[in-house]
Amino acid sequence: MKSRWDDPEFRTFDAPQEWSWTTDGPVRYVPVTREGLPLGFLWVALTSDAAGFVPAATSGGAGMNASVAWVARLRSAKAAGDDPLAALRRWAGEPEDALCGSVPAGAESEISSLAGLTELAGRS
Protein backbone atom coordinates (compact mmCIF):
# COMPACT_ATOMS: atom_id res chain seq x y z
CA MET A 1 0.00 0.00 0.00
CA LYS A 2 1.28 3.44 -0.90
CA SER A 3 1.31 6.32 1.46
CA ARG A 4 0.84 9.97 0.65
CA TRP A 5 4.60 10.34 0.96
CA ASP A 6 5.32 8.04 -2.00
CA ASP A 7 6.10 9.56 -5.37
CA PRO A 8 2.91 10.00 -7.40
CA GLU A 9 2.38 7.95 -10.54
CA PHE A 10 1.22 9.89 -13.57
CA ARG A 11 -0.37 8.13 -16.50
CA THR A 12 -1.78 9.65 -19.65
CA PHE A 13 -5.07 8.07 -20.60
CA ASP A 14 -6.10 10.00 -23.70
CA ALA A 15 -3.69 12.39 -25.36
CA PRO A 16 -4.32 13.67 -28.88
CA GLN A 17 -1.82 12.60 -31.49
CA GLU A 18 0.53 15.22 -32.80
CA TRP A 19 3.26 15.60 -35.36
CA SER A 20 6.89 15.79 -34.34
CA TRP A 21 7.97 19.25 -33.16
CA THR A 22 11.42 19.06 -34.70
CA THR A 23 13.00 18.51 -38.08
CA ASP A 24 16.47 18.70 -39.56
CA GLY A 25 15.28 19.61 -43.04
CA PRO A 26 13.74 22.66 -44.70
CA VAL A 27 10.42 24.08 -43.48
CA ARG A 28 7.54 25.95 -45.04
CA TYR A 29 6.11 28.65 -42.80
CA VAL A 30 3.55 31.43 -42.55
CA PRO A 31 3.58 34.52 -40.33
CA VAL A 32 0.93 34.76 -37.64
CA THR A 33 -0.18 38.21 -36.51
CA ARG A 34 -2.76 39.69 -34.17
CA GLU A 35 -3.92 43.29 -34.48
CA GLY A 36 -1.11 43.82 -36.96
CA LEU A 37 1.63 42.70 -34.55
CA PRO A 38 3.68 39.51 -35.06
CA LEU A 39 2.85 36.56 -32.81
CA GLY A 40 5.19 34.10 -34.49
CA PHE A 41 5.39 31.55 -37.29
CA LEU A 42 3.39 28.41 -38.01
CA TRP A 43 5.62 25.88 -39.79
CA VAL A 44 5.66 22.41 -41.33
CA ALA A 45 8.57 20.22 -42.36
CA LEU A 46 9.04 19.52 -46.06
CA THR A 47 10.81 16.18 -45.62
CA SER A 48 9.09 14.66 -42.56
CA ASP A 49 5.84 14.67 -40.58
CA ALA A 50 6.57 17.61 -38.32
CA ALA A 51 4.75 20.85 -37.58
CA GLY A 52 4.72 23.52 -34.91
CA PHE A 53 4.65 27.15 -33.93
CA VAL A 54 7.61 29.39 -33.11
CA PRO A 55 6.58 32.46 -31.09
CA ALA A 56 8.23 35.74 -32.04
CA ALA A 57 10.65 36.97 -29.37
CA THR A 58 8.90 40.34 -29.40
CA SER A 59 5.44 38.86 -28.79
CA GLY A 60 5.94 38.10 -25.08
CA GLY A 61 3.12 36.28 -23.32
CA ALA A 62 0.77 36.72 -26.27
CA GLY A 63 3.11 34.65 -28.44
CA MET A 64 3.45 31.93 -25.82
CA ASN A 65 -0.34 31.77 -25.40
CA ALA A 66 -0.74 31.62 -29.16
CA SER A 67 1.77 28.78 -29.25
CA VAL A 68 -0.39 26.68 -26.92
CA ALA A 69 -3.48 27.44 -29.01
CA TRP A 70 -1.68 26.56 -32.27
CA VAL A 71 -0.53 23.22 -30.84
CA ALA A 72 -4.18 22.46 -30.09
CA ARG A 73 -5.16 23.47 -33.63
CA LEU A 74 -2.43 21.27 -35.12
CA ARG A 75 -3.59 18.31 -33.02
CA SER A 76 -7.13 18.92 -34.24
CA ALA A 77 -5.96 19.01 -37.86
CA LYS A 78 -4.07 15.74 -37.44
CA ALA A 79 -7.12 14.11 -35.84
CA ALA A 80 -9.18 15.29 -38.83
CA GLY A 81 -6.78 13.47 -41.15
CA ASP A 82 -4.89 16.47 -42.53
CA ASP A 83 -1.25 16.15 -43.48
CA PRO A 84 1.06 18.89 -42.13
CA LEU A 85 0.94 20.99 -45.33
CA ALA A 86 -2.88 20.90 -45.38
CA ALA A 87 -2.82 21.98 -41.74
CA LEU A 88 -0.53 24.89 -42.58
CA ARG A 89 -2.97 26.05 -45.23
CA ARG A 90 -6.16 25.37 -43.26
CA TRP A 91 -6.29 28.77 -41.52
CA ALA A 92 -4.85 30.99 -44.27
CA GLY A 93 -7.13 33.94 -44.94
CA GLU A 94 -9.49 33.13 -42.04
CA PRO A 95 -10.72 35.94 -39.78
CA GLU A 96 -8.48 36.86 -36.87
CA ASP A 97 -8.91 34.79 -33.72
CA ALA A 98 -8.52 36.54 -30.35
CA LEU A 99 -5.90 34.03 -29.18
CA CYS A 100 -4.35 32.55 -32.34
CA GLY A 101 -4.29 35.69 -34.45
CA SER A 102 -4.49 35.27 -38.21
CA VAL A 103 -2.53 33.87 -41.12
CA PRO A 104 -2.58 36.00 -44.27
CA ALA A 105 -3.60 34.18 -47.44
CA GLY A 106 -0.73 33.52 -49.85
CA ALA A 107 2.00 34.22 -47.29
CA GLU A 108 3.85 30.88 -47.45
CA SER A 109 7.64 30.98 -47.47
CA GLU A 110 10.40 28.39 -47.17
CA ILE A 111 13.59 28.40 -45.15
CA SER A 112 16.40 25.85 -45.02
CA SER A 113 15.91 24.80 -41.40
CA LEU A 114 13.85 25.12 -38.26
CA ALA A 115 16.91 26.68 -36.65
CA GLY A 116 16.81 29.38 -39.33
CA LEU A 117 13.14 30.04 -38.61
CA THR A 118 13.87 30.22 -34.89
CA GLU A 119 16.54 32.80 -35.67
CA LEU A 120 14.08 34.72 -37.88
CA ALA A 121 11.68 34.78 -34.92
CA GLY A 122 14.45 36.31 -32.80
CA ARG A 123 14.76 33.30 -30.55
CA SER A 124 18.31 32.17 -31.34
In the prediction, which pLDDT does 106 show?
A: 92
Pairing outcome for strands 27-34 and 109-111: antiparallel
9 or 90: which leads in pLDDT: 90
In the prediction, which pLDDT does 15 show?
A: 57
Over range 85-92, report the average pLDDT: 92
Share of the chain above pLDDT 70, in %: 90
In the prediction, which pLDDT does 60 show?
A: 92
pLDDT tens per residue across span 8-52: 776 665 556 888 989 999 999 999 999 999 999 999 999 889 999
What is the sign of the dihedral through the CA atoms of 115, 33, 82 and 85? negative
pTM of the predicted model, to two decimals?
0.84
Question: 5: pLDDT confidence band, cut at 50, 70 and 90?
Answer: confident
Question: 124: pLDDT confidence band, cut at 50, 70 and 90?
Answer: low
Over range 111-124, report the average pLDDT: 91
Rounded Cα distance between 117 and 60, Å, is 17
Residue type, 14: D
Q: Is the pLDDT of residue 67 over 70?
A: yes
